[in-house]
Chains A and B, each alone.
Chain A
Amino acid sequence: MDLWQLLLTLAVAGSSDAFSGSQDSSGKPKFTKCRSPELETFSCHWTDGVHHGLQSPGSIQLFYIRRSTQEWTQEWKECPDYVSAGENSCYFNSSYTSIWIPYCIKLTSNGDTVDQKCFSVEEIVQPDPPIGLNWTLLNISLTGIHADIQVRWEPPPNADVQKGWIVLEYELQYKEVNETQWKMMDPVLSTSVPVYSLRLDKEYEVRVRSRQRNSEKYGEFSEVLFVTLPQMRPFACEEDFRFPWFLFIIFGIFGLTVTLFLFIFSKQQRIKMLILPPVPVPKIKGIDPDLLKEGKLEEVNTILAIHDNYKHEFYNDDSWVEFIELDIDDPDEKTEGSDTDRLLSNDHEKSLNILGAKDDDSGRTSCYEPDILETDFNANDMCDGTSEVAQPQRLKGEADRLCLDQKNLDNSPSNDATPASQQPSVILGEENKPRSLLIAKTESTHQAGHTQQQLSNPNSLANIDFYAQVSDITPAGSVVLSPGQKNKAGISQCDMHPEVVSPCQANFIMDNAYFCEADAKKCIALAPHVEVESHVEPSFNQEDIYITTESLTTTAGRSGTAERVPSSELPVPDYTSIHIVQSPQGLVLNATALPLPDKEFLSSCGYVSTDQLNKIMP
């Protein structure tokens, strides 16, 4: 093997020397290609270079050598067939061909090796072109413009694909007759392939070539196949099928117009309903706004009283409306003057507008927020347009603060500065028009009152009280509130006495939003040391923050059964019940006048109606 290699190397070197030597490089014969079409035979071709230097064209010979498994043949053999493959070629038939065996051939001219090449037969496979190309029509498109065809061919006859000795793959190329660039398709293993989307009015050329699978070199192309497709149908459409945009638009506009007219001239209400659905608003059932306007308070109260469930509902979770806001939302009302005027007016009926409920569609929020209190009292309703949903949240928050602060409140029994805790506070503040019948009630105990005060100052004394006492109403119409400054001092004191009974707190806490009187009673009972008695217990001792007219009415007449005796001595409370304004000069906030409600009233846990108020108040 080594010797053979050495020989080979020398031969190559020698040939290169010969090349660089006397002969003209362009004239030397050399191998052009060696090719095996079917992996059974092969042939080599060379160029017969012009020998400038030599006078006579030397006889060119080809020698080959191959390594066999059996023996080392080191001698070069001459080409067995110079003819079969054409001029300047050497043909090796199957008996001389061994696959997977290295061959080396050399070309000699006058005994001098001019070229040499080594290869294995499986590396030089280039199959013959396929034969028997034909095509069939597959289908024609609906538009009559394009068609698909199926091209078929036969493998080259000398390739033994049937026995599986060689496996071929084919590549098809096609183009229009007058084109120059061929379109190539991906190689396929089968002998037929569809060609899609050929135009019916054009002629095409198709050709196929093959190669051994896993090889790189293709064989020659087959003969060109001409594909002449049938002519187009006579009624074929235009090439460019234009979408009838014009018609489309016309009809579209027409249809839209018709629809529009239909909508406009029929069933207008429904359209309006669809487009602008009415906003659901809380309405007081069964209350005729006119009734309220006329000032028939008793009737209104009766109606309200009837709706017992109405009140309870508010205590349930549902609701974003926790109380009936009896607001006046009539623009006419506004023109009549501010609510303050109404309050101050001698007109009793007008004053009842406080309770008047306007059956309007706009939702009203409660005017609870201390922020609102802080705002300009001369301002118009701040509560207008606020969402009802915000109400309960605020209330809840306040209630939480109520609960949380209960402890502090309980701890400050001796807070004389907050006598008004007993009394319902009036939230008039937000605006000059206290439309809402928001009569905030302080807790039954002074503790509750502290709570309320605490509410307003949950964490800091600087905050304005949530509930503020209306101390005065100026003629200009602004409400002057007295911030519970006394209470602030009291609050701090409250903090110093954290001995409140926990169950009391718990109870309060349980009842998240409102305090039932029962709980309040417990608190009161548990804290007997609390100088509650010294303070004026508002008749609404309860936890009820709000007084409904209903509860007022129900408790009418119970004034005698007040649990606590209102102290004779009562410092000016911060929170006082609303006493119907009698005089235009101001509100009479008469905390002392409020007798303690009896149990029934306490258990109402609801609102206190104005009647009740009236009855309770002197």
Chain B
Amino acid sequence: MDNKGSSQKGSLLLLLLLVSNLLLCKSVASLPICPSGAVNCQVSLRDLFDRAVILSHYIHNLSSEMFNEFDKRYAQGRGFITKAINSCHTSSLSTPEDKEQAQQVHVHPGVKENEVYSVWSGLPSLQMADEDTRLFAFYNLLHCLRRDSHKIDSYLKLLKCRIIYDSNC
């Protein structure tokens, strides 16, 4: 019972951390890129990329922090890492896996690709009564979030340097 209480507290704490981070995130890029009411708002691609990179970097930063905190606090000695190595629900999405493949990514404005949704069905596991299962679900979620945010951050930085700075960041 004690463990359950503490883990629930931990979950709550983590959620609070997440929410607060998201709120903080707003302050990072609080200025709207287009002021409200502006009809023809022209934003340079440079500004757009700069903003996007800042955001993605920040999100990855937060995800790393959350994962590290959780790992330090709840996952020690539980061997979650081995179990979580393969269980991201976004793994099925086809994305560049290395630099060469990432460099092949091009921005095609207007092209709508078939969006392959990868539905996350892990919510029930986050609410499970069993503490072990629940903690592992959180660990898995945070691990995947960290990885995916790093992926996106890397892609955006690559794109920015290629498009804006002509591969000379």
Interface residues of A (CB under 8 A from B): 1, 4-5, 8-9, 12, 39-40, 67, 69, 94, 97-102, 104, 118, 120, 122, 160-167, 213-216
Partner of A162 from B94, B154, B168 at Cβ < 8 Å = B168
Interface residues on B, range: 35 or more
* CB proximity of B146 to chain A, nearest CB, Å: 9
B160 in contact (CB, < 8 A)? yes
Query: A122 vs B67: C-alpha distance in the bound complex, in angstroms?
Result: 14
Main secondary structure of the interface of A (DSSP, over half): loop
A-B contacts, 11 of them at CB < 8 A, read A67-B85, A97-B98, A99-B151, A100-B151, A162-B168, A163-B103, A163-B161, A163-B162, A164-B159, A166-B154, A214-B64
A39 in contact with B147 given A67-B91, A69-B94, A102-B85 (CB within 8 Å): no
Query: A118 vs B143: C-alpha distance in the bound complex, in angstroms?
Result: 13
* CB proximity of A97 to chain B, nearest CB, Å: 6
Query: A97 vs B105: C-alpha distance in the bound complex, in angstroms?
Result: 18
B126 in contact (CB, < 8 A)? no
CB-nearest residue of chain B relative to A2?
A: B86
- Residue interface mask B40-71, A partner, CB < 8 A = 1: 00000000000000000100110010001000
A164 in contact with B83 given A98-B98, A216-B68 (CB within 8 Å): no
Residues of A within 8 A of B64 (CB): 214-215
CB-nearest residue of chain B relative to A167?
A: B157
* CB proximity of A213 to chain B, nearest CB, Å: 7
Judge whether A94 and B98 touch: CB under 8 Å: yes
- Residue interface mask B64-85, A partner, CB < 8 A = 1: 1000100000000000011101
Top 9 nearest A-B pairs by Cβ distance?
A: A164-B161, A164-B157, A102-B85, A98-B97, A164-B169, A118-B85, A164-B158, A100-B151, A163-B167
Residues of B within 8 A of A118 (CB): 81-82, 85
Residues of B within 8 A of A102 (CB): 85-86
B113 in contact (CB, < 8 A)? no
* CB proximity of B93 to chain A, nearest CB, Å: 8
* CB proximity of A158 to chain B, nearest CB, Å: 12
Judge whether A100 and B97 touch: CB under 8 Å: yes
Partner of A5 from B83, B99, B151, B165 at Cβ < 8 Å = B83
Judge whether B158 and A100 touch: CB under 8 Å: no
B92 in contact (CB, < 8 A)? yes
Q: Which of A12, A99, A122, A161 neighbours the largest number of chain B CB atoms within 10 Å of its CB?
A: A99
Residues of A within 8 A of B158 (CB): 163-165
CB-nearest residue of chain A relative to B169?
A: A164
* CB proximity of A30 to chain B, nearest CB, Å: 16
CB-nearest residue of chain B relative to A118?
A: B85
Given contacts A98-B97, A167-B157, 6 further A-B contacts (CB under 8 A): A67-B91, A100-B147, A163-B169, A164-B159, A213-B57, A216-B68
Query: A94 vs B83: C-alpha distance in the bound complex, in angstroms?
Result: 26
CB-nearest residue of chain B relative to A216?
A: B68
CB-nearest residue of chain B relative to A70?
A: B94
* CB proximity of A127 to chain B, nearest CB, Å: 15
Tell me which residues from 125 to 169 in chain B have a Cβ below 8 Å from any Cβ of chain A.
Answer: 147-148, 150-151, 154, 157-162, 165, 167-169
Query: A69 vs B61: C-alpha distance in the bound complex, in angstroms?
Result: 26
B100 in contact (CB, < 8 A)? yes
CB-nearest residue of chain B relative to A102?
A: B85
CB-nearest residue of chain A relative to B161?
A: A164
Main secondary structure of the interface of B (DSSP, over half): helix
Residues of B within 8 A of A67 (CB): 85-86, 91
B14 in contact (CB, < 8 A)? no
CB-nearest residue of chain A relative to B100?
A: A94
Query: A39 vs B101: C-alpha distance in the bound complex, in angstroms?
Result: 13
Partner of A165 from B61, B87, B92, B102 at Cβ < 8 Å = B102
* CB proximity of A165 to chain B, nearest CB, Å: 5
Residues of A within 8 A of B103 (CB): 163
* CB proximity of A107 to chain B, nearest CB, Å: 16
Query: A9 vs B79: C-alpha distance in the bound complex, in angstroms?
Result: 10
CB-nearest residue of chain B relative to A122?
A: B150
Query: A5 vs B68: C-alpha distance in the bound complex, in angstroms?
Result: 24
A1 in contact with B86 given A99-B98, A120-B147, A165-B99 (CB within 8 Å): yes
CB-nearest residue of chain A relative to B160?
A: A164
A39 in contact with B82 given A100-B150, A164-B157 (CB within 8 Å): no
CB-nearest residue of chain B relative to A213?
A: B57
Judge whether B82 and A12 touch: CB under 8 Å: yes
Query: A164 vs B158: C-alpha distance in the bound complex, in angstroms?
Result: 5
Judge whether A161 and B147 touch: CB under 8 Å: no
Partner of B99 from A39, A120, A216 at Cβ < 8 Å = A39
* CB proximity of B84 to chain A, nearest CB, Å: 9
Partner of B57 from A5, A40, A98, A214 at Cβ < 8 Å = A214
Residues of B within 8 A of A39 (CB): 99, 154
Query: A162 vs B95: C-alpha distance in the bound complex, in angstroms?
Result: 22
Residues of A within 8 A of B82 (CB): 8-9, 12, 118
Residues of A within 8 A of B151 (CB): 99-100
Partner of B169 from A1, A8, A100, A162 at Cβ < 8 Å = A162
Query: A162 vs B91: C-alpha distance in the bound complex, in angstroms?
Result: 28
Residues of B within 8 A of A98 (CB): 97-98
Query: A8 vs B84: C-alpha distance in the bound complex, in angstroms?
Result: 12
Query: A555 vs B64: C-alpha distance in the bound complex, in angstroms?
Result: 105
Query: A48 vs B156: C-alpha distance in the bound complex, in angstroms?
Result: 42
Judge whether B85 and A104 touch: CB under 8 Å: yes
Residues of B within 8 A of A4 (CB): 86
CB-nearest residue of chain A relative to B85?
A: A102
* CB proximity of A164 to chain B, nearest CB, Å: 3
Judge whether A165 and B57 touch: CB under 8 Å: no
Residues of A within 8 A of B161 (CB): 162-164
Residues of A within 8 A of B168 (CB): 162
Residues of B within 8 A of A160 (CB): 99
- Residue interface mask B13-39, A partner, CB < 8 A = 1: 000000000000000000000000000
CB-nearest residue of chain A relative to B68?
A: A216
Query: A326 vs B40: C-alpha distance in the bound complex, in angstroms?
Result: 90
Residues of B within 8 A of A167 (CB): 57, 157
Query: A120 vs B64: C-alpha distance in the bound complex, in angstroms?
Result: 14
Judge whether B91 and A40 touch: CB under 8 Å: no
Query: A165 vs B154: C-alpha distance in the bound complex, in angstroms?
Result: 6
CB-nearest residue of chain B relative to A72?
A: B86
Residues of B within 8 A of A5 (CB): 83, 86
Q: Which of B85, B147, B165, B168 neighbours the largest number of chain A CB atoms within 10 Å of its CB?
A: B85
Query: A161 vs B85: C-alpha distance in the bound complex, in angstroms?
Result: 28
